[in-house]
Amino acid sequence: MTSLTISQVRGREILDSRGNPTVEVQITLSDGAMGRALVPSGASKGQHEALELRDGDPNRYLGKGTLKAVRNVNETLANLVKGKSFRNVQELDTLMLEADGTSQKSKLGANAILGVSLAYVNAVAISQKRPLYLVLNEMMGVPAAEMQLPIPLMNILNGGVHANNGLEIQEFMIVPHGFSAFSEALRAGCEIFHHLKEMLHEKHFSTAVGDEGGFAPALESNEQALELICEAVRIAGYQLKTQVAVALDVASSSFYLADAKRYSLRHRGEDSIDSNGLIDFYQGLCDKFPIVSIEDGLDEDDWAGWKVLTDKLGGQCQLVGDDLFVTQVARVRRGIQEKIANAVLIKVNQVGTLKETFETMALCRENKYRAVTSHRSGETEDVTIAHLAVGSGCGQIKTGSASRSERLAKYNELLRIEEWARENGKPLRFAKVF
């Protein structure tokens, strides 16, 4: 792709949206083009994710410092890649993966390796004076005609580990899918968000927000959260189901009782329920509300339960594996072979390189599994995932609510992409997934 060499690599410790340290990397190419990338961090993490290297020093940032990862960027990785040219990011990532030599990047840290990977593609885009989504599209080998603007899965009510309000379900999302342009879908989402805020005020609920910008009121039940959302959609003047649907990120591993192999749902008046009981709960919600997507409906290692869930609801609902798959080819391949789930959440820091992210997304495409590009709860102002969603043509993006600037940065970048493509005679269609 380019004969330019990497002339400088610099890593530094910065802060994410929760005020915790993370890694930033900037790469300068031999023509002076400089690309920068900021690495996100999750709160609801799958145990099979690539290793996020932290310092562990309790006297500094409560043990969450990233100076070790930064040192690996500035010393080991910088010495490895400086003066070299790469045809694409896959070649760069292969070199770094070989240097690390571990399955989960435990030697150098996925946050260090990913920072270099992301900064490199940003530098290439700047060098070529082209939008990043076009560079990623070519590196992935996806036909240009398949690029599209993604449907936002907008998180407007928070629960689980993203809030302290007692709701088990982690994210209640609206899906503004029935529109002709991304900008129209985003406007609808924002209007619904603000109508929901007014409703919560009127009902004397808190409008404090969780990690991803959704409101975090103390509600009586998960059903009440869905009822409020549907009411906000109607008040905003949009049609439920045909224009705006609902999605859930259950994050069920957070309330899974591993020893008993059961799930704790406090509002049901039971100590716990098994997988079948939880699946029946989802079926009831789908019968009552216009739910088009359920993410992490069962625990990351409850493969048998996932099979039952897929058999029962897979024909009517998108079933997304996040903690189940952690963006890694081996786990996605098992899901495909066993016919478990029908969609994969794509988080670049779960796997740790763009090369492996591309491979996972390609596997999804080949097997007609949907892919949903996603942020993390500990985010930054980095907008690379907006370009990944467009360049891959995956059709969906999760990047939080209509508040908190680290979330809005991605939405605003998608608006810029929509405008740039139209003005340059290459308009992008808005995805039709649901």
Average pLDDT (172-192) is 98
The answer on 236 and 174 residing in a single domain is yes
> Is the same domain home to 295 and 362?
yes
347 is catalytic: yes
Look at residue 426 in the predicted model and tell me its pLDDT: 95
Neighbouring-strand partners of residue 8: 28
pLDDT at 2 over 80: no
Of the residues 347, 355, 398, 410, which is catalytic? Answer: 347
The pLDDT, as a whole number, for residue 59 is 97
Residue 364 lies in a domain: yes
Whether 411 and 366 share a structural domain: yes
Of 81, 105, 129, the position where a domain reaches its end is 129
The pLDDT tens digits of the residues spanning 380-398 come to 999 999 999 999 999 999 9
* Percent of the residues in the chain that have a pLDDT greater than 70, as a whole number: 96
Q: Are residues 168 and 100 in the same domain?
A: no
Would you state the structure tokens that stand for residue 293, as one six-digit string? 């997507």
Looking at residue 210, what is its pLDDT? 85
Q: Say yes or no to pLDDT of 215 above 70.
A: yes
Is 272 a member of any domain?
Answer: yes
| Out of 39-53, 69-83, 113-127, 146-160, least confident range | 39-53
Distance CA 204, CA 419 (A): 40
> Average of pLDDT values for 236-262?
95
pLDDT for res 81: 98
Whether 214 and 94 share a structural domain: no
- Taking residues 132-150, what's their average pLDDT? 98
Nearest in space to 207 (alpha carbons), one of 72, 401, 362, 5:
401
Q: Which of the listed ranges 231-245, 247-261, 271-285 does the model predict with the highest average pLDDT?
A: 231-245
Q: What is the pLDDT of residue 270?
A: 62
**Domain assignment of residue 210, given as a range:** 144-423
Q: Is 377 exposed, middle or buried (0-12, 13-18, 19+ CB in 10 A)?
A: buried
Interval 18-40: pLDDT, tens = 999 999 999 999 999 999 999 99
Residue 177 lies in a domain: yes
Place 311 in a pLDDT band, splitting at 50, 70 and 90: very high
In percent, how much of the chain has pLDDT > 90?
A: 89
What 3-state class would DSSP assign to 252? helix
Q: Average pLDDT for residues 104-129, to the nearest whole number? A: 97
> Does one domain contain both 156 and 68?
no
Q: Tell whether the model's pLDDT for residue 399 goes beyond 80.
A: yes
Question: How confident is residue 283, by pLDDT bands cut at 50, 70 and 90?
Answer: very high
Number of structural domains (the chain) is: 2
| Residues linked to residue 24 through DSSP beta bridges, in sequence order | 12, 38
Looking at residue 390, what is its pLDDT? 98
171 and 42 in a common domain: no
Cα–Cα distance for residue pair 218/334, rounded to 1 Å: 38
Domain annotation covers residue 309: yes
List the helix and strand counts (H, then E) for the chain: 14, 14
Same domain, 197 and 114: no
pTM: 0.96
Distance CA 175, CA 78 (A): 42
Share the mean pLDDT of the chain: 95
User: Is residue 1 in a domain?
Assistant: no
- The domain that contains 51 carries what CATH number? 3.30.390.10
DSSP-derived 3-state class of residue 26: strand
What's the confidence (pLDDT) of residue 168?
85
pLDDT attached to residue 267 = 56
Q: Label residue 9 exposed, middle or buried (CB < 10 Å: 0-12, 13-18, 19+).
A: buried
Q: Which of 168, 191, 212, 379 is catalytic?
A: 212
End-to-end CA distance of the chain: 35
Catalytic site includes residue 339: no
Residue 182 and residue 299 in one domain: yes
- Per-residue burial over 304-341, b = 16 or more CB atoms within 10 Å of its CB, e = otherwise: ebbbbbbebbbeebbbbbbbbbbbbeebbeebbeeebb
Answer for the pair 359, 329: CB distance below 8 angstroms, yes or no: yes
Residue 1 has pLDDT above 60, yes or no: no
At 323-377, the pLDDT tens digits run 999 999 999 999 999 999 999 999 999 999 999 999 999 999 999 999 999 999 8
Question: How many C-beta atoms lie closer than 10 Å to residue 16's C-beta?
Answer: 23
Looking at the fold, whether 183 and 212 belong to one and the same domain comes out as yes
Co-location of 44 and 170 in the same domain? no
* pLDDT tops 60 at residue 219: yes
Half-sphere exposure of 334 (CA within 13 A, CB side): 14
| 28 in the same domain as 64 | yes
Any idea what the CATH number is for the domain that residue 413 is in?
A: 3.20.20.120
Say if residue 231's pLDDT is above 60: yes
Q: What is the pLDDT of residue 159?
A: 83
Q: Is residue 353 part of a domain?
A: yes
